[in-house]
Amino acid sequence: MNVTVLGTGGTIASTAHETGAVPTERGAELIGRVPELDEYADITVEQVAQVPSYEMTTETLETVRERVTELDADPNVDTVVITHGTDTMEETAYYLDVAVSPSTPVFLTGAQRRPDERGFDGPTNLVTAFAAAGEFVEDDGVDGGTYVAFDEEIHSARFVTKVHTSKLDAFASPEVGPVATHDRSGVRILRPPRSESVHVPDASLDPTVFVVGSGTGMDERLVASALDAGADGLVVNGTGLGNVTAELGEFIESTVRDGTPVVVTSRCLAGRTTPVYGNAGGGETLRDAGALFAGDLPAHKARLKLMLALSKYADENGEAGDEAIRALFDA
């Protein structure tokens, strides 16, 4: 098996300095720390970035996508492993799932503790990624996809989210669970891996989309500021089933009527947005006004999806292709 590792930085590559932890170790050094990885595959290591993941930019994401796309088309590459910071790991994974939809399995992994800290979890997570790579490549039921391999679990990019700031078991897939686990006996696939059903190729992250939230007493000022700042679209992180305050709701209605797409998500960790309430700010009212609903997709993933959709389907005048974008969120 041939595995290409793409290093991007993150805690797994960081060490302590006077000003705080910074990524200092390259991907080749991380792989060199775990000699047993050679038992799983022939390994090629490339460095595509060297940043903590909270500093990931859209330009860096597109650089990663371009390289993953090239590797996905290379018949000599069986799997791609990306070392990445945990803060935005799920966003990069989801972005690659939608923008590339790789037929070659792609695994993102990292660490909660640095190489210079006691209990460094990077080696274990790398072993999990490589072990899963071997199993997924050999299993006829696995057709590519993008995954997060962490703390001896493998999660699909569509559902995974970071659920703890510092514990080693930082990632989970609410309601659905991991697609596989890794232990001393090897990798056990628990259910058929599922990728995002929507694929938006040949799209960029150029459109500007802001995420704004709703909560007790929230009014329209933050949304208005986002529009004044040049937003091409908005994601509103609502409460419950996908509701917002009356003042915010009325402004969203006028925003949609003026041609700016608005996607409604829920700040709840699990469950789907379901328009029910018909008062001002209620989900049913927002849907009647033309707002889109993201189902169980969290706000940060819905933002990436809307950016790609706007890039793909905006017409020459810059206006959104409403039906095409709506179809993506209804899928």
Positions marked active-site: 11
Q: Which residues contact 57 (CB under 8 A, 6 or more apart)?
A: none
Burial of 166 per CB tally in 10 Å (0-12, 13-18, 19+): exposed
CB 107 within 8 A of CB 153: no
Amino acid at 113: R
Under a CB-based contact definition with an 8 Å cutoff, are residues 159 and 131 in contact? Answer: no
Number of other CB atoms surrounding residue 291 within 10 Å:
24
Q: Nearest to residue 120, comparing CAs of 210, 213, 34, 212?
A: 34
95, 61 Cβ separation under 8 angstroms: yes
Say which residue the tokens 């709703």 belong to.
214
Pairing status of strand 262-266 against strand 14-15: unpaired
Distance between CA 265 and CA 273 in Å, rounded?
6
CA separation for the pair 46, 117 (Å, rounded): 25
> Rounded distance, CA 308 to CA 199, Å?
10
Q: Is the dihedral of CA 48, 18, 122, 166 positive or negative?
A: negative
| C-alpha distance from residue 217 to each of 236, 237, 254 (Å) | 15, 14, 19
CA pair distance 235, 243, nearest whole angstrom: 13
- Cβ neighbors of 100 (< 8 A, separation 6 or more) are 65, 68, 69, 72, 106, 146, 201
Find residue 15's DSSP bridge partners. 22
Distance CA 302, CA 272 (A): 13
